[in-house]
Amino acid sequence: MGTRHRGSTDEVRALDLFIKLMRAAESVATRVHRALADADLTVSQFGVMEAVFHLGPMCQKDLGAKLLKSGGNITMVVDNLEKRGLARRKRNPENRKYVTVSLTDAGRRLIERIFPRHVAEVVREVAVLSADEQATLAGLLRTLGLGVCGTAAS
């Protein structure tokens, strides 16, 4: 469903694109993230675990910035992972504001088990596009994500 806005051609085109972009993103994300329910993980928890798994222990603040989460939100997500024994935090003794998040052995085992299924789901979802279409879309989305000032995360 496109926009019902009766504005200028530029407005209607932009709104229609935005609606399609958001609907596609939500639709694909919903299908890809179904498997997380089996592991009793939220999308944010999975994001933290995946980032730390692939990038190594990270400062909690940097982790929040990477995942586009507020400080309060990332604290709650890591709290919940810590309660389940999947992640741990370590404060820097010289700067107590600097908190490093790492995975526990249980967290590492869980992400090692569920990540391959996640990858397979993503591959299956994007397979409706050819390899060239995937590359083109990735480039367009990066440009869109960087926006006018070119500072947003990719």
Do 56 and 20 reside in the same domain of the chain? no
Do 129 and 102 reside in the same domain of the chain? yes
**Considering the domain boundaries, does residue 98 fall inside one?**
yes
Place of tokens 């992972």: 81
Do 25 and 40 reside in the same domain of the chain? no
**Considering the domain boundaries, does residue 153 fall inside one?**
no
- Of the candidates 51, 15, 28, 44, the one whose C-alpha atom is nearest the C-alpha of residue 134 is 28
Residue 91: strand pairing partners? 99
Give residue 129's domain range: 34-146
Backbone phi, psi, residue 47, to 5°: -60, -45
Question: Which pLDDT does position 46 carry in this prediction?
Answer: 96
Question: Which pLDDT does position 154 carry in this prediction?
Answer: 47
- Following DSSP, what letter does each residue of 103-122 receive, concatenated? E-HHHHHHHHHHHHHHHHHH
**Considering the domain boundaries, does residue 154 fall inside one?**
no
pLDDT band of 4, cuts 50, 70, 90: confident
Question: Which pLDDT does position 149 carry in this prediction?
Answer: 61
pLDDT band of 107, cuts 50, 70, 90: very high
Q: Residue 152: is its pLDDT beyond 60?
A: no
- Of the candidates 62, 121, 52, 125, the one whose C-alpha atom is nearest the C-alpha of residue 87 is 52
pTM of the entire predicted model: 0.84
Do 26 and 72 reside in the same domain of the chain? no
Quick one: what percent of the chain has pLDDT higher than 90? 76
Question: Which pLDDT does position 151 carry in this prediction?
Answer: 53
**Considering the domain boundaries, does residue 59 fall inside one?**
yes
Do 56 and 122 reside in the same domain of the chain? yes
Give the full edge-to-edge strand order of the sheet including 99-103. Answer: 58-59, 99-103, 87-91
| Domains held by the chain: number | 2
- Mean pLDDT of all residues in 27-51: 93
